[in-house]
Structure 1
């Protein structure tokens, strides 16, 4: 036979199927996704007729690091997201227990290097809290992240956003109109994102729904307290290659998400 067509389930509980053809072009991310879902390895794909030459190079959307010191990897052409998957900071979680769903209704302000703590405290105090006594650990942590972000922003203005979300914020996969964005979700699920190979860029740019944007697989989700630094379409060379992401779903009855975001 000159062509083989087989079906491989994408997940044990998922009854959708993908077709594999002998001369189809698959990249390493797609093959890794398929093989991990059916718990086999790439040899199984070669056995059903996909040659080694079918692998094509791709942009790996993300890399994981073990400290803020490694965030410079965002400038690698192969990366549009750097994630520091740090542990949950329990003391900050306790501070945020007093924060209700309406505490921070998408509040924003310009912040400046060397003055981030004062700017953040003023933003929190404007919502009726005594920032210094109610959130000392949270304030310290956001200040630390802000000062790191200023190093990447250079002379670009930086805007901070604090938001509590009892609903799904931005449900459609999109790319930010920014140079860089730093995000950290202090309560609730983190930002969802797609690897570059998963994205149909034409569908995303045309306003198509999520079902048309996602070529295969499922989005990944940043853990609570993880810190992500992502490229927007304003980053050089990323006019059509910024990180494609969205807000996670917030189910009725779930605690409101607490989101910290910096843009430049």
Structure 2
């Protein structure tokens, strides 16, 4: 059962929470909370604009950036992808910048590992828990992340493609922040990328992590 953050006492423990804005995502720091979801709708203009872009032109980059450099770094990615300039692209850049700042505040990180990926394959189709302390995910185009209530987690992990139990699904634009196996105070939520290979669909996924050994070299504008 998902509880809304505003309906709980400040010190109440709840594995899965909904929130109303980016500030509410900080509830992931509560002991025992493993997933916080900010339900939101993207501007219709952005959804239509992204749907109209050729999949080959969607960004596919990974950057390790200081929060102060996030806007310039993401703008550079958009330029390299040759996405049309204008107010819609500016909104997308600003949204990513705001999420990077929110994630950095929550994790007390000076830098954030940003993956902005066009996904048309099934490389992460398996149900799994992330081997990270915490991770933020949002999908701007295509099917969004699927997850399983903790009561069904073991069944999903064991059955994988044969799992026939209930699956929860984020919507396009929703922002979810997950604790992973390295968090220490909560079991990570079992989730997966929706299988899209062969469907003709290409997702645009934003994934934010704290810096790690597998992060790229720090981004530089030079």
Q: TM-score, normalised by structure 1?
A: 0.66
Q: 1:234 aligns with which of 182, 186, 203?
A: 182
1:53 aligns to what? none
**1:249 corresponds to 2:195:** yes
Q: CA deviation at 1:130?
A: 5.8
Distance 1:251 1:222 in 2: 19
Query: What CA RMSD, in Å, does the superposition of the two structures yield over aligned residues?
Result: 2.6
Q: Which structure 1 residue ranges, 5 or more long, are not aligned?
A: 1-28, 30-58
Conservation of the 8 A alpha-carbon contact between 1:93 and 1:187: yes
2:172 aligns to what? 224
**1:182 corresponds to 2:136:** yes
Query: Given the superposition, is the C-alpha separation of residues 134 and 65 from structure 1 closer, same or farther in structure 2, using an over 3 Å criterion?
Result: closer
Bigger radius of gyration among the two: 1
SS of structure 2 residue aligned to 1:162: strand
Q: CA deviation at 1:209?
A: 4.5
Question: Looking at both structures, which has the greater relative contact order when contacts are Cα pairs under 8 Å and sequence separation is at least 6?
Answer: 2
**1:90 corresponds to 2:36:** no
Structure 1's consecutive aligned runs of 4 or more residues displaced over 6 angstroms after TM superposition are none
Matches within 5 A, 1:35-184: 61-104=15-58, 106-129=60-83, 135-155=89-109, 157-184=111-138
Distance 1:104 1:129 in 2: 7
Q: Which structure 2 residue ranges, 5 or more long, are not aligned?
A: 2-12, 211-222
Q: CA deviation at 1:99?
A: 2.9
Q: TM-score, normalised by structure 2?
A: 0.78
Q: How many residues align?
A: 199
Query: Given the superposition, is the C-alpha separation of residues 105 and 90 from structure 1 closer, same or farther in structure 2, using an over 3 Å criterion?
Result: closer
Q: CA deviation at 1:101?
A: 2.3
